[in-house]
Amino acid sequence: MTHRVGDIAAAIGATLEGDGDITITHAAEPDAAGPDALALAMSPKYAEALSKGEARAAIVWPGADWQAMGLEAAIIAPRARVTMAGLTRIFDPGQGFAPGIHPQALVDPGAEIGADVSIGPFSVIAAGARIGDRTTIGPLCYVGTGSVIGADSFLREHVSIGARVRTGARLVVQPGARIGSDGFSFVTPEKSSVEAAREEFGTSEAEGSAGQAYLRIHSLGGVEIGDDVEVGANTTIDSGTIRPTRIGNGTKLDNMVQVGHNVTVGHDTLLCGQVGLAGSCRVGNNVVLGGQVGAADNIFIGDGVVAAGATKITGNVPAGRVIMGYPATKMETQVAMYKAMRRLPRLLDEIARLQKAVFKSPSND
């Protein structure tokens, strides 16, 4: 597929300079860009590579002297990553899933399929499921009984949606994600060792072991997902116990994120790779949890919180706070503690010197 450079500039709302009639077939990094490529050179560090490459057209930083770098056309990108969003959307060839319902898909007669839906081979749509208009379901997927997938959604291959899941419009699900798995919720008939430990250390919910067999608490609540949500590869979202586990509009989950039963996540929140949210925790709006962040059960994380990668959140976090560490603290506290810790070995020497001066011996133990 070829595109006029002028059309690309118009489509992404950017300024064109030079010859808009040049046609290109793909985007490339400056040093790898041939004459058919649109070179991506959104900061001055790419100037040299650009001069040496064969690109005729490029996306450049504001103020770039693109003619001096041998270009015939330039698209000016004041905000590089926003430009990338527009550009990659234009050039994305997609996964190539065919339109229509594949003859080897298995759609229960009791399922309701919208207009212009695509369902891949060996996918199963259970009785009572509803698939919204223009939604694509990749190969080898499962959509469970009574579940509703919103319009204009896109499910990659190997996705499972259990029973009683309701999703909004424009859902994107990466391969192997599981939405609506059963919650991890067990109880012993009598008080357990974990309950005892929790009581001693002042934490809350009772779950645990004690030489007794576990009773299972079933998950009846399903999952409720807003509009414009993305769910990463091999991510798992458990059903709620009585009410649904909830993910708000515009929230994005990366790969291998674990969302426990009864969790509530607000809108426009980012959960990066391998984040784990334990049961019943509540995460606000516009939150960002970095990769491998963990949050304990039943806690509250306020709006706008930003947690650095690997932060382990063991208690409530007020809105707007930037946190890190295990256990999590405000980032500046963590930095101060860490600096002090690095001084510690030297401190031991200083104290020994003081002891010698005061007590005439390095230690009076």
For a second copy, which is the closer residue by CB, 63 or 96? 96
Minimum gap (Å) between residue 218 Cβ and a second copy: 4
CA dihedral 48, 52, 57, 63 (to 10 degrees): 20
Contact (CB, 8 A) for 127 and 108 = yes
**Is position 298 an interface residue for a second copy (rule: CB under 8 A)?**
no
Beta-sheet strands, E only, within 148-273: 148-149, 154-155, 160-161, 165-167, 172-173, 178-181, 186-187, 215-216, 223-225, 230-231, 236-238, 245-247, 252-253, 258-259, 264-265, 270-271
Peptide bond into 35 cis (omega under 30): no
Q: Is the CB of 113 or the CB of 206 nearer to a second copy?
A: 206
Minimum distance of a second copy from residue 145's CB (angstroms): 4
The distance of closest approach from Cβ of residue 35 to a second copy in the complex, given in angstroms and rounded to an integer, is 17
Is residue 285 a contact partner of residue 265, using CB atoms and an 8 Å limit? no
Interface segment toward a second copy; rule CB under 8 A; list 3-11, 43-51, 52-60, 156-164: 156-164
| 136 near a second copy, rule: CB under 8 A | no
Does the protein bind a second copy through residue 1 (CB under 8 A)? Answer: no
Q: DSSP class of residue 20? A: T
DSSP string, 62-113: TT--TTTTT-SEEEE-SSHHHHHHHHHHHH-----PPSSB-TT-EE-TT-EE
Nearer to a second copy, 113 or 306 (CB): 306
Single residue of 111, 272, 283, 301 touching a second copy by CB under 8 A: 272
Instruction: In angstroms, give the least distance from the CB of 184 to a second copy.
Output: 4
Enclosing H/E stretch for 47 = helix 47-52
Backbone angles phi, psi at 90, to 5 degrees: -65, -45
3 tagged catalytic: no
**Stretch 84-113 residues interacting with a second copy (CB under 8 A):** 84-86, 88-89, 91-96, 104, 106
Whose CA is closest to 143, among 131, 156, 126?
A: 126
A 10 A CB-CB count for 15 gives 11
Judged by CB under 8 A, the stretch of 17-25, 53-61, 62-70, 349-357 that binds a second copy is 349-357
Strands 186-187 and 215-216, how do they pair? antiparallel
Instruction: Please identify which residue in 19, 133, 134, 306 interacts with a second copy, judged by CB under 8 A.
Output: 306
Structure tokens at 236: 């798992």
Window contacting a second copy (CB under 8 A); options: 41-49, 59-67, 68-76, 327-335: 327-335
Q: Which stretch, 17-25, 52-60, 65-73, 283-291, contacts a second copy (CB under 8 A)?
A: 283-291
Q: Taking CB under 8 A as the criterion, which residues in 180-219 touch a second copy?
A: 181-182, 184, 186-187, 189, 193-194, 197, 200-201, 206-219
Which lies closer to a second copy via its Cβ, residue 46 or residue 68? 46
In whole angstroms, how close is the CB of 133 to a second copy at the nearest point? 21
Residues taking part in catalysis = 261
